Amino acid sequence: MGKIAFVFSGQGAQYSGMGRELCAASPAAHRVFDMADSIREGTSALCFEGAQEELNRTVNTQPCVFTADLAAARALEERGITPDCVAGFSLGEIAALAFAGILPDEEAFRLVCRRGELMDKAAAENPGTMVAVMKLTPEKVEELCRGFEKTYPVNYNSPAQTVVATTAENAEAFCEAVKQAGGKAMALAVSGAFHSPFMAQAAQGLAEYMEDAEFSEARLPIYSNYTAKPYEGDYKALVRAQVENPVRWQAIVEDMIADGVDTFIETGVGKTLVNLIKRINGDVAVFKAETPEDIENISGSLKN
């Protein structure tokens, strides 16, 4: 068997009830939710019973998904399932920072809360939207983006899926251009144009917030959204850059596989990353870790 990677879910799959069963079943997961509540009162309640409209607000989504992600990883660890490396999609990278030991859980949670606040503010002051493009290569999507102002490829998800950030005014015409090129476009229900120059203000604010933070050396490789390579050099610069630059998810997965990973476990909410990894490489094993049943399934599969 090759290496195991934990990959931490990002924004978009949040739902009312997330993490509730795992929190009840796993002492390690419960401690993560308790930690979140001690810093941001009501986080658990929002995860377990919050209205979807509230969960979809970036300022709430990020701390809630972070908590569910990290709780799942700690529950796996509690069962003796540990990774050789980690990565996270967008805000999932902050949970990966905590698991890799770069920041204590409490400081990583405070960081993701501030990140959510800054990105929410930037989205309100510099509004934009996002469009998922399917059935076209990343290179073709880049070409189409060059035909529109303030339009950027921002999530390189798989060989046939790239997400684009643009203005609300450009979105309809861009979707039509995708259709004319033989692709399929779908507007996303998001509150901002993330991982693009629309987020420059948030990236600057995060850099200022991190000035006094103490980052430790990673205890295991953590792959950067910005470089698609394991963290090295200035960790804070990588965290800042991630906010206003594309998520290179396909490259991260390919680099992990090249480095010996053959088993991916998506920790946290939903199975978006599981599905993307299957599209990137159908030969690797993929699991989701969200519920107590998921943990049992993974434990049984990896120990057989």
pLDDT in tens, 82-98: 999 999 999 999 999 99
Indicate the length of the chain as a whole number. 304
Please determine, for residue 40, whether its predicted confidence score (pLDDT) is greater than 70.
yes
Please determine, for residue 304, whether its predicted confidence score (pLDDT) is greater than 70.
no
Please determine, for residue 141, whether its predicted confidence score (pLDDT) is greater than 70.
yes
**Span 1-22, average pLDDT:** 94
**Span 47-58, average pLDDT:** 94
Class of domain 129-187: alpha beta
Please determine, for residue 144, whether its predicted confidence score (pLDDT) is greater than 90.
yes
CATH superfamily of this structure's domain 3-125+196-303: Malonyl-Coenzyme A Acyl Carrier Protein, domain 2 (3.40.366.10)
**Half-sphere exposure in the Cβ direction for 207 (13 Å, CA):** 14
pLDDT, tens only, 244-292: 999 999 999 999 999 999 999 999 999 999 999 999 999 999 999 999 9
Domain extent listing, the chain: 3-125+196-303, 129-187
Site of tokens 């978009």: 12
Please determine, for residue 18, whether its predicted confidence score (pLDDT) is greater than 90.
yes
Site of tokens 């490259």: 251
Rounded CA-CA distance 61/265 in Å is: 21
**Span 73-83, average pLDDT:** 97
- CA gyration radius, the chain: 18
Please determine, for residue 161, whether its predicted confidence score (pLDDT) is greater than 80.
yes
Q: What is the pLDDT of residue 10?
A: 93
Give the three-state DSSP class for 190: coil
Q: Percent of the chain beyond pLDDT 90?
A: 96
Rounded CA-CA distance 18/261 in Å is: 28
Please determine, for residue 101, whether its predicted confidence score (pLDDT) is greater than 70.
yes
Let me know: does 113 contact 119? Beta carbons within 8 Å: no
Q: Could you tell me which of 266, 259, 253, 272 has the C-alpha nearest to residue 295?
A: 266
Q: What is the pLDDT of residue 12?
A: 86
Give the three-state DSSP class for 217: coil
Let me know: does 240 contact 206? Beta carbons within 8 Å: yes
A 10 A CB-CB count for 175 gives 19
**Single pTM value for the model:** 0.96
Please determine, for residue 303, whether its predicted confidence score (pLDDT) is greater than 80.
no
CA distances in angstroms from 279 to 36, 60, 252, 254, 274, listed in the order given: 34, 30, 14, 11, 9
Rounded CA-CA distance 86/8 in Å is: 8
Q: What is the pLDDT of residue 189?
A: 77
Structure tokens at 295: 């943990």
Rounded CA-CA distance 153/149 in Å is: 12
Q: Which residues of 239-272 are buried (b: 16+ CB within 10 A; e: fewer)?
A: bbbbbbbbbbbbbbbebbbebebebbbbbbbbbb
Please list the alpha-helical segments (H only) found in the chain. 20-25, 27-39, 43-49, 52-55, 58-78, 92-99, 105-125, 138-145, 168-180, 200-210, 235-244, 249-258, 272-280, 292-303
Please determine, for residue 75, whether its predicted confidence score (pLDDT) is greater than 80.
yes
Calculate the average pLDDT of the chain.
96
Catalytic residue set:
90, 195
Structure tokens at 63: 């701390």
pLDDT, tens only, 190-203: 889 999 999 999 99
